[in-house]
Structure 1
Amino acid sequence: MKKPVYLDYAATTPVDPAVADEMVKYLTPDGVFGNPASRSHGFGWQAEAAVESARGQVASLIHADPREIVWTSGATESDNLAIKGAFADLENAHLITSTVEHKAVVDTCKWLEARGLDITWLTPGRDGIVQPKQVFEALKPETRLVSLMLVNNELGCVTDVATIGAGLRERGVLFHVDAAQAAGKTPVDVTAMPMDLMSLSGHKVYGPKGVGALYVRRSPDVRIEAQIHGGGHERGMRSGTLPTHQIVGMGKAFALAESCLDTEIDQLETLRASFLEGLKGLEGVTLNGSETNRVPGIINLSFDGVDSESLMLGLRNLAVSSGSACASATVEPSYVLRGIGLSDERAHRALRFSMGRYTTAEEMAFASAEIIEVVTRLRAVR
């Protein structure tokens, strides 16, 4: 049977071969396998040097100071550290977020809300974007943190974090941005996009799973309380022995992303256009999200008369999803699509197609032809 075409890059990306080659050097007895925290011998010094080099590579992609990068196990932990860490006490405190954030943010905020934190849940427009005016109008004297994602993981739409961040900086309110889906897909610059905390992931950028980072702006105004204790690693913000091989892999992946960012954006724009052009002959197809303020690699479409579960079963040669990988075990319609005002019926008819570094024009042509064939067949037997 033909190998399925992978169109679920928003869920995870394959590790770039150059990244895998680099990681192997930090695993075996003849490599750099020491504990980065062992400062009494050369094995530890070499590992620490590798970790710091990778810290610089991650910082470079987002135009940050390497000292502002805190290693974590992934963007989910980074979100938890940023949000919970900002609310060591819940009295006289207020948080602003939106209904279409990643589950790592939504569930963390709900956990705090159940313990008494005052939270304002913003609802985006039909394009999936929270507007700066909404944020500023929701501010209270006791607002401590605003948490919004830069690129939505189901829709691909882009939030105007530069405008929001500038307004929050003037008002002395902390700003956390989940950029797991943004790094390597669109320019990210913490100097041009004022923010205080930003979550990053390795496996969304052709690096390994199980490693991520939290950008923490170096300022007396930005203070977060550690959520994992024991050893005081990462300047006391995140204890635990650092996985050198994974960190080196994430660093290499971010360095590669920085070197080919513009080229990959152009390639994905071309693939996106050809894919949508290939579907033009199919009636009853609606794009969910923004047609303009978005990254090119994520496309969310609803197909009239066909539910997503049946369509995915029919598309056996395509690896796609009906929403976030973190919520794919449920048969409920996507809370993100509900959050932008779609009916349950239309949300149940939506699929997410996400492309990446290894997607080819031939694969996109095959995908559009398969979709037309399967949708037409399913509609005929309704």
Structure 2
Amino acid sequence: NNEIGVIQPVSEIAEVLSGSDVFLHCDASQALGKIELELKSAGVDLASFSAHKAYGPQGVGALYAGARARSVLSAIDFGGGQEKGLRPGTVPVALCAGFGTACELAVEGLSEERSRLSSLREIFLSRIARLNPLLHGHSDPAWNVPGILSVRFAGIDSETLLMALPMVAMSTGSACSSSSVDDRSEQLSHVIEAVSGSPEASRETVRLSFGRFTSMSEVELAAEAFVRAVEEIREIQGEVRG
């Protein structure tokens, strides 16, 4: 999941659908280069990927189609017959080559990078533990992508926290959100509301990412900044209430 980092039980979903006429499509953009992917054995019919999620070039993606899906796929646009007749248009060779190289590099260092990101995540959480953060995600680390962290600080509006931490790159939800910034009710995360059972949780949640170029020193600095900001906000809130 792109917001909370939970790894979905795709194989179990595919098992439920087996024998039916329903095709299983998986948006695997967030999984590419982060976890091992065995699409065929998992029973996935279709899966889509974006190169930039694996440090490849923007503007190119890929579609995996299993044998069952390939037997029924047909073009909706027609032209030069590129992409095996499914998607006409000049193929961006440089972007495709860059995507391929990004995938090779991601696969080569997958295990080591996952371990490194897990360490960064745990160090960050240990540094902010005194703030009593509430985590959105699976209780078992094996079912979470370590590079995505969704955390809630009860009683603190996420927009307020963003303004208090201009040096920390984080968001209040999915980067795919296209809602107006003037209407936060339209931006509330249905994912956070579903896992927490509270619309208020969405207003108090921030999303952070740890990636290939995130260093230990950056994580430690960010954690220190979080502690200062959250404690200052809570102190101000206490004075206002008092």
Q: TM-score, normalised by structure 1?
A: 0.58
Matched, 1:321 2:183: no
- After TM superposition, the structure 1 = structure 2 runs for residues 112-151 of structure 1, keeping only pairs within 5 Å, are none
Show the counterpart of 1:336. 191
Give % identity. Answer: 37
Alpha-carbon RMSD:
1.6
- After TM superposition, the structure 1 = structure 2 runs for residues 1-382 of structure 1, keeping only pairs within 5 Å, are 152-219=1-68, 222-283=71-132, 285-292=133-140, 293-327=143-177, 329-330=180-181, 331=184, 332-382=187-237
* Aligned length, in residue pairs: 230
Separation in 2, partners of 1:227, 1:321: 36
Q: For residues 341 and 281 of structure 1, do their structure 2 counterparts lie closer, same or farther at Cα, with a shift above 3 Å needed?
A: closer
User: Is contact 1:312–1:321 with CA below 8 Å preserved after alignment?
Assistant: yes
User: Is contact 2:23–2:69 with CA below 8 Å preserved after alignment?
Assistant: no
Separation in 1, partners of 2:127, 2:138: 20
Shift of 1:220: 7.0
Separation in 2, partners of 1:250, 1:231: 23
User: Structure 2 regions of 5+ residues with no counterpart?
Assistant: 238-242
| More helix per residue | 2
Separation in 2, partners of 1:221, 1:167: 21
Show the counterpart of 2:240. none
Separation in 2, partners of 1:175, 1:314: 42
Q: For residues 313 and 220 of structure 1, do their structure 2 counterparts lie closer, same or farther at Cα, with a shift above 3 Å needed?
A: closer
User: Is contact 1:288–1:301 with CA below 8 Å preserved after alignment?
Assistant: yes
**What is the one-letter code of the residue matched to 1:266?**
S
* Structure of higher RCO (CA pairs closer than 8 Å, 6+ residues apart): 1
Shift of 1:172: 4.3
Shift of 1:270: 0.6
User: Structure 1 regions of 5+ residues with no counterpart?
Assistant: 1-151
Separation in 2, partners of 1:197, 1:301: 31
Shift of 1:221: 6.7
After the TM superposition, which segments of 4 or more aligned residues of structure 1 sit over 6 Å from their partners?
A: none
Separation in 1, partners of 2:41, 2:67: 16
User: Is contact 1:216–1:222 with CA below 8 Å preserved after alignment?
Assistant: no
